[in-house]
Chains A and B, each alone.
Chain A
Amino acid sequence: MKIDHSLPLEYSTEENRLKIFGFWIFLGAEIMLFATLFTSYFVYEHRTGNGPSGAEIFEITPVLMETILLLASSFTIGLGIHAMRLGKQKAMMTFFSVTLVLGLGFLGFEIFEFVTYIHEGAGLSTSGFTSMLLTTLGTHGLHVTFGFFWGLSIILQVKKRGLTPETANKSFIFSLYWHFLDVVWIFIFSFIYLKGMM
């Protein structure tokens, strides 16, 4: 393992650089994954069958809370990476933990939202629209859930092994993932919720 000390830790080995590059390509694939969900969502937007429409079930409060929580978590993980580059392991761990707590808060609101939808008769098998809505939100929610456990395992590893080229690399890639989820949420917020409530 050749370590290049002139670069930040996460870029310091050949393998690390490959992984970060590869993850960017993966994010390209994720763009298309969510684009497909959005494409379908726009087709189903008015195909509500006997079920409720978006305007009938969307509520601004939980959505706004989710948005603020996720934006804040994207900010804190950015700070986490900044701290990591300064070599401040403790600050980094704190920022990462705050990020995961915020993510958990987001998931809490989302679960509350889903329960409300199902209560209001907008279940997975109510109509084309509700199927698609819950699938799109659910795919994002599953990504966040997966990210939560991923982040947890990274915090554990940093705690156990300290900041090495390997753990720094993992943390950086995780931060890319988390920011990307925030980007996706911005589009969900704008083109599913706000457009639906407009």
Chain B
Amino acid sequence: MKLKWALLAMIFTVAAVLSGCEPLLVLDPKGPQAKVQADDIMLSIWIMSGIVIAVFAILVFVLVKYRASKQSADYEPPHIEGNMLVEAICIGVPIIIVIFLSVMSVKSNYEVEATPKGYEGQEPVVIYASSSNWKWHFSYPEEGIETVNYVNIPAGRPLEFKLYSYGPITSFWIPQLGGQKYAMADMVTTLHLAADEPGELMGRNANFSGAGFAENTFDVQAMSQTDFDKWVKEVHDTAKPITEEKFNELLQPGHLGRSTYTGTHLEFSPAPEHNHGSADSDKDSEEGEHHHESSDSEKETDHSHH
């Protein structure tokens, strides 16, 4: 009986916290991709709770009913080999659940790997996010600016983050906009996101990358398109241009605050060409194979500095 109460109490605590006043980051989406994921998560939590409760109920029932202290001393448990029907049900029901979840999973996977729902027609903002020990560099090739450790984004427009790394594998993650994706040294991965409304968000590297990993975070500011344009203009008016020398200095291992530059490092230190993980990059992936040699040689020159 103790067990039962403990488990009930546990389930209620979890449920209370999950649906509590202070919503958990992942379950408090601010963009369509995170919404898809949060819906999937909640749905699976409910289905899984059903399974857990069923198993708990059967367990408690048999434990109470068939414990030795309740049986007569001469009770001899029967020999039961198994029963086709019962076992078919035990296989069939999980299969149905798994099929249902598989369909959900595949559908959502294609959704999060494409331009966010409701934003299809619009021109995406392309931002190159590259990590170095233990910083994030954001390059806006179209706007011609570069920031370190913070990223400003226009709300209500699709975002295309192009991810790569100047060192260990990192993982670019803004929980409230959507799930993470790896940034690696030899290829560019693409993460499709969008913010529904202006607001301040947390972003971080989620993949362990060495001593400075814990502080490897960045600030995300979603703002209206007009504010964003204003900010871009302001940067062009006030910030200094990024030079190769300056950029190599930024790449040195350590922690830095926020900083802003005009121009991007892509001009002198381009992203690896092998382009991966974008729904529309299928055509150029063949090409990427052939480009490989050249991209590697370029990368090597980048690395000789650091």
Contact = CB atoms under 8 A, between A and B. Distances in A.
A in complex with B: yes
Interface in B250-306: 289, 292-293, 296-297, 300
Contacts of A19: none
A50 interface: yes
Interface in A35-59: 46-50
B292 A46 contact: yes
Contacts of A49: 293, 296-297
Interface in A106-131: none
Give the dominant DSSP class at A's interface: loop
A49 B289 CA distance: 11
A46 B296 CA distance: 12
Contacts of B293: 48-50
Nearest to B297: A50
A128 B122 CA distance: 41
Interface in A14-71: 46-50
A46 B300 CA distance: 17
Contacts of A48: 292-293
A46 B274 CA distance: 12
Interface residues of B, number: 6
B198 to A, nearest CB: 44
Nearest to A51: B293
Nearest to B296: A49
A48 B289 CA distance: 10
A48 B296 CA distance: 9
Nearest to A49: B296
B297 A47 contact: no
Contacts of B296: 49-50
B297 A46 contact: no
A48 B300 CA distance: 13
Interface in B77-131: none
A92 to B, nearest CB: 51
Nearest to B274: A47
A55 to B, nearest CB: 13
Q: Tell me which of B292, B296, B297, B300 has the highest count of chain A C-beta atoms within 10 A of its own C-beta.
A: B296
A33 B292 CA distance: 28
Nearest to B293: A48
Nearest to B300: A50
A50 B300 CA distance: 10
Contacts of A46: 289, 292
A47 B300 CA distance: 14
A46 B286 CA distance: 12
A49 B294 CA distance: 8
A129 to B, nearest CB: 10
Contacts of A50: 293, 296-297, 300
Contacts of B289: 46
Contacts of A47: 292
Nearest to B295: A49
A46 B297 CA distance: 14
Interface string B214-257: 00000000000000000000000000000000000000000000
Contacts of B297: 49-50
A128 to B, nearest CB: 9
A47 B293 CA distance: 7
A140 B124 CA distance: 51
Nearest to A46: B289
Nearest to A47: B292
A100 B292 CA distance: 43
B285 to A, nearest CB: 12
A47 B297 CA distance: 12
B298 to A, nearest CB: 11
A14 B300 CA distance: 60
Nearest to A48: B293
Contacts of B292: 46-48
A46 B288 CA distance: 11
B63 to A, nearest CB: 42
A49 B303 CA distance: 14
B290 to A, nearest CB: 8
A50 B297 CA distance: 7
B231 to A, nearest CB: 41
A38 to B, nearest CB: 19
B91 to A, nearest CB: 29
Given A46-B289, A49-B297, A50-B296, 7 more contacts: A46-B292, A47-B292, A48-B293, A49-B293, A50-B293, A50-B297, A50-B300
12 contacts: A46-B289, A46-B292, A47-B292, A48-B292, A48-B293, A49-B293, A49-B296, A49-B297, A50-B293, A50-B296, A50-B297, A50-B300
The 5 closest A-B pairs by CB, nearest first: A49-B296, A46-B289, A50-B297, A48-B293, A46-B292
